[in-house]
Amino acid sequence: MAGDQKKKFSRRDFVAGGGTILAAGALTAAAPAAALSSTAAKAEYPLSTGYLIYDSRHCSGCQSCMLACSLVHDGEASTSRARIQVTRNVLAQYPLDINIFVCRQCPDPLCVKNCPTGACHVSTANGNVRMIDGDKCIGCKTCLQACPHVPHRPVFNVAAQKSTKCDLCVKAPYFSKKGGPSGAQACVTTCPAGALKVVAELPSQNDNSGFDLNFAPKPKPVVRTIARPDDDPPKPPAKAAPVKR
């Protein structure tokens, strides 16, 4: 019967079919990126009440902040799990040799928008900090793909197969202090150079300059008086009268 006969494919059919399969694969690979860029409706998110800023000119590149971050969150010292990243360009000169990358607590958080499970969320109970609920995270890495910054601010814990990000130490089980926007942060308290701090005002989101600020105190104005030629010369101090004995 015709239905039982095996269909014969020519070389041309094979090449054409292979091209179709490759094209379909390319479309499938591009689908996540397209899905991330298209959101059904623009949601309005309340601004975070805390933002981590830094002064790269004060930073020595010791990475104490990175180790402290992983220790208080994971109980292990791991620079790859740190929610803050510090790099040094050995070919650059000061002050361009140190680069610091922190979570910006974006006003329009794409990580929150595109998370399929709601694990990445805005915590209204903790000052609207953008954070990840580890119990809801399925390890799909969508938040890493959605983050518009390089390097991406969410980090992936390979051992736990879950994503995480800076939460300003809201959930830091190994931290002895209360965290959050109004509390303490392990990176800030550990930095020996005082190159990190948390502010309440939203920094400029245009580039890193909004977060890389100069912490040096402003110099006090120096007031100098210049004597005019017609001014009377200063009088010498009066001599004290001799004491009679």
Confidence check: pLDDT of 9 > 80: no
C-alpha 189: how far from chain center? 17
Among 134, 169, 164, smallest CA distance to 152 is for 164
* CATH of span 51-210: 3.30.70.20
Chain segment 50-69, per-residue pLDDT in tens: 999 999 999 999 999 999 99
Look at residue 245 in the predicted model and tell me its pLDDT: 64
User: Does position 237 have pLDDT exceeding 70, yes or no?
Assistant: yes
Higher pLDDT, 85 or 243: 85
pTM: 0.72
**pLDDT surpasses 70 at 30:** no
